[in-house]
């Protein structure tokens, strides 16, 4: 590891999104739109705000619209330009700033999150990198990834974003436990994928943001299929912990599980209420419609 900053982010977007059927039958879950932006754009903007400039998408079938979203749309741009719609033109340009690079690699079979991350091995090389799961929409100031990069700069080790969850929900997450270093930081000594509440070592759950050292690739390669027949990133991190320190960071902010219909609705309402253009009108409408029922 030669750099003290994180330059590359991996976005595993090859999953099938079965929890969001029928919407995800032919279109990617990451293109589901919360208010006016697709989920993947929120995640890319979060990485960009953290100083990351190379975005690596691990894609699969039915994900073509994501590539189009981050490509130049000449026709649209020249029409907006001809019509003098400069504000809209700026919005379109901002999707992919000039100093941002987007690259794609295919995961040919959905063999799990660990396997998806492994697909980016050659593109990442020998440096620490970020992983962002776009279906976890994370809102924080500074952004969650910026907070994590700051932690990485201090500890030079893998950092997992974590949050406290109710014990009855442990089955939905990777759960960590370990030695408390400070209010927000735990040195991880145990990590388990989707434990039953009675077996969970704690209620500290891993959210969809990671900074990983390149050593994780060898650990993924050594993995057998784990829970659900998939190659789990959690199992690789558990092995990595035997060689290197791994930290869990309790981020400051809110996470919406937009891979689930309920989480997606919650994100839509919360972000809609905060929207600079129509947030106030939307709040008023919500109040009126609640009192009319
Ligand atoms: P999920 O566990 O949410 O799986 O994956 P999923 O297939 O996307 O959705 P459900 O559970 O069927 O509704 C977490 C992240 O890992 C990616 C997904 O795209 C998602 O961002 N992933 C998962 C891959 O890229 N490849 C895989 O083989 C599995």
User: Right CATH number for 8-274 from 3.40.50.300, 3.90.550.10, 3.40.50.1950, 3.40.50.720?
Assistant: 3.90.550.10
**The pTM is what?**
0.94
18 lines ligand 1 (CB under 6 A): yes
Contact 14 CB / ligand 1 (< 6 Å): yes
Residue 3: predicted pLDDT: 65
How far is ligand 1, taken at its centre, from the CA of residue 155, in Å? 29
Ligand 1 binding pocket includes 133 (Cβ within 6 Å): yes
By the 8 A CB rule, do 167 and 203 touch? yes
- Closest residue CA from atom 5 of ligand 1: 15
Locate the domains of the chain by residue range: 8-274
How would you write the pLDDT of the chain (293 residues) with one tens digit per residue?
Answer: 456 799 999 999 998 888 889 988 888 999 999 999 999 999 999 999 999 999 999 998 777 889 889 888 888 888 888 888 888 888 888 888 889 999 999 999 999 999 999 999 999 999 999 999 999 999 999 999 999 999 999 999 999 999 999 999 999 999 999 999 999 999 999 999 999 999 999 999 999 999 999 999 999 999 877 667 789 999 999 999 999 999 999 999 999 999 999 999 999 999 999 999 999 999 999 999 877 76
Residue 253: what pLDDT? 97
């Amino acid at each position: 590891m030669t750099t003290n900053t994180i330059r590359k982010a991996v976005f595993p977007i090859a999953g099938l999104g079965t929890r969001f059927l029928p919407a995800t039958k032919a279109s990617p879950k990451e293109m589901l739109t919360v208010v006016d932006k697709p989920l993947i754009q929120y995640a890319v903007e979060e990485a960009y705000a953290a100083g990351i400039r190379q975005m690596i998408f691990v894609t699969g079938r039915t994900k073509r619209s994501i590539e189009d979203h981050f490509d130049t749309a000449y026709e649209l741009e020249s029409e907006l330009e001809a019509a003098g719609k400069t504000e809209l033109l700026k919005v379109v340009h901002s999707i992919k700033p000039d100093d941002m690079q987007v690259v794609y690699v295919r995961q040919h079979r959905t063999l799990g999150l660990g396997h998806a991350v492994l697909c980016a091995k050659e593109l990442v090389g020998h440096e620490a990198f970020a992983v962002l799961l776009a279906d976890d929409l994370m809102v924080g100031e500074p952004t969650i990834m910026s907070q994590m990069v700051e932690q990485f700069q201090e500890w030079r080790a893998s950092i997992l974003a974590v949050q406290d969850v109710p014990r009855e929900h442990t089955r939905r997450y990777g759960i960590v436990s370990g030695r408390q270093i400070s209010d927000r930081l735990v040195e991880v000594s145990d990590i388990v994928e989707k434990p039953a509440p009675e077996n969970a070592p704690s209620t500290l759950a891993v959210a969809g943001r990671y900074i990983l050292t390149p050593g994780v690739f060898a650990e993924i390669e050594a993995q057998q299929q784990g829970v659900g027949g998939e190659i789990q990133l959690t199992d690789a991190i558990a092995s990595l912990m035997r060689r290197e320190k791994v930290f869990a960071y309790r981020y400051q902010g809110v996470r919406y599980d937009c891979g689930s219909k309920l989480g997606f609705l919650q994100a839509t309402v919360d972000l809609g209420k905060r929207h600079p253009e129509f947030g106030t009108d939307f709040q008023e409408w919500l109040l009126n419609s609640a009192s009319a029922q």
